Amino acid sequence: EHVFGSQVVLAELSWNSDSCCVCRRQGHLRKDIRKTLSLLVKTFTFPMQKSTDQELAILSTRGSFTTNFYDFLCSYMSLCAQNPFSPEHNEKGIINMGTAVNRLMEKELTERLNKDDILKYNSSFQHYYDFSGSEELRNAVAGFFTRHLCPENPVDSNNLVVMNGVTSCLDSLAHTLCDPGDVIITPTPVYGRIFTDFSDRSGVTVMPLHLSEKPNSDGISFFLDHTMLESRIQEVKSKGQSVRAFILLHPHNPLGDVYSHEHIRKLMHVCARYQIHFISDEIYALSVFAEGTKHSSVLAMKDIPDPQRTHVLWGFSKTFSIMCNSVGGNPLMQVILITCIRDIPPTILPSLGDAAHNIMNIRGILPTILPALGGCHPQYYLHHKEADLSKTYNKCYTSFLGVIGKLRKTEYTLFMVVFLKSFVTS
C-alpha cells in the first residue's frame, strides 16, 4: 500500500485463531526483514465452509455457495478497515498490504473536487435515461480516451457502457459471454480477484496459463507467447470444456509488462481462430511512467481480427485515486466497452441498474473534471502523477534491492516482483 505513499513500510505477521496472516507495522524492520519475509511466503489453503441445513432452507444452492466461499482479500480488507494504522493515533493498527491504493495525488484531487465549478445540478438528473450511462458522462469519457489512449482512432461514446466498478464489468461479461462451467483463460501470476470476479455469481471457471519464471532466449522472464495460449486452449478443449474468453491485464498486474500491438495482435489471432472473446483489462493504462514508453491500448489498434469479440475495460481508481470513494453519496463509475450489455435490463443485472442511477448524482461532475485533470499541459494532473509515480517507484525498488537482492523490476509500470524462495526455511 505504501508504494503509493510517502514512506515504505515493511511488516511482520501476527496470527489469529483462523491461522491467517495479518500485516502489522512495527517501526523500522530493515534488520528483521529476512525473518519477516520467511513468514510472508507461507502458503495457506482456505477450505470452503460447509453449508448448514438452515442456510439451505433459506438460501438457494447458489446463494449458499457464495455465502460460504472464503475470499482472503475481502475478509481481511474489512478487518484492516476496523483497525487501521495511524502513526499519530494507532501505531499498533493494521496496514493493508493486499489492496492497491493510489495516494500520490490525493491533495491535488481533493482541491479540484472542492472547486465551485464541479457540480451544476439540474432537474433532468432526476429523470430516467439510458441505462448504459448518461450522454454527458459517456461523451466525457470517450473524449478522455481519445485524447490519452487512441488519438488517431476516436472512441464512439455509443460503444461505451458505464458500470459501478471493473468488478461489475467482469461479472457482467461472465454473465453475458459464458454459461456456468465455461472457461476463461488468463496468464499467471495474476491479480487474485480475477478468479472470483468471474465465478462468484456466474459460475465461470478461470484457468491459468502459467508463465515461466525462467528467462527465454531474449532474457525475458514470464514471457507470454501466443503459441502457449493456443496450446492451453487445445488442452482445455480436449477435456471437453468450453473456452469462451481470454483476459489479459494490460499493463499486467503484477508483472508490470506492457504489450505491443504486434504482440497483442498475435494473441488476438489465436482467439479469433477459436472464436474466443479477447478481453483487455487496461485499468493501469495511465500508470505507465517510463520515459519514452507509452501504453499500447487495444482501443488504438487498427484491423482488429475479431472486433465483435474484443472488449476493453478501464476504471478511474488507479489513475485518479478515487476508488471506493463517493461524490454525492454514490460511488464513482467505471467503464466497459462492450455493446451487448447495453441491451440487458437492470432487473437482470442489478449492478448495472444501480450504476445507471448512481450516474444521476455524478453526471455533472466527471464531464467537468475529466478535461481539467487530463489536459496535455505539464501542469495538469496526469503529468504530475507520472513524475511522482516514477520517483516513488525507484525509491521503493532501491530500498528492497538493498535488502533482498533479487527483484524483477518493470521498466514501465508500478509493479515489481520480489523473489522470496531463498527466505523459505521449509
* Window from 79-88, 107-116, 189-198 with minimum mean pLDDT: 107-116
First-to-final CA distance of the chain = 28
- For CA atoms 133, 136, 140, 145, the dihedral sign is positive
> For the chain, what is the radius of gyration of the CA atoms?
22
d(CA 262, CA 56): 51
d(CA 108, CA 116): 15
Q: What is the dihedral of CA 393, 264, 150, 101, to 10 degrees?
A: -30
The DSSP output letter for 266 is H
- How would you label 267-282 residue by residue, b for 16+ Cβ within 10 Å and e otherwise? bbebbbeeebbbbbbb
d(CA 331, CA 315): 12
Confidence at 153, pLDDT banded by 50, 70, 90: confident
DSSP-H helix ranges across 91-134: 106-113
Query: HSE on the CB side for 11, CA within 13 Å?
Result: 22
Mean pLDDT of 272-293: 89
* Window from 79-93, 148-162, 339-353, 405-419 with minimum mean pLDDT: 339-353
The pLDDT value given to residue 14 = 32
Confidence at 375, pLDDT banded by 50, 70, 90: low
Confidence at 101, pLDDT banded by 50, 70, 90: confident
d(CA 231, CA 237): 10
The pLDDT value given to residue 180 = 92
Q: Which residue has the cell 482467439?
A: 271
pTM reported for the whole predicted model: 0.77
Element (H, E) at 175: helix 166-177
Mean pLDDT of 101-126: 77
The DSSP output letter for 86 is B
Residue 158 and residue 223 in contact, taking contact as beta carbons nearer than 8 Å: no
Mean pLDDT of the chain: 74
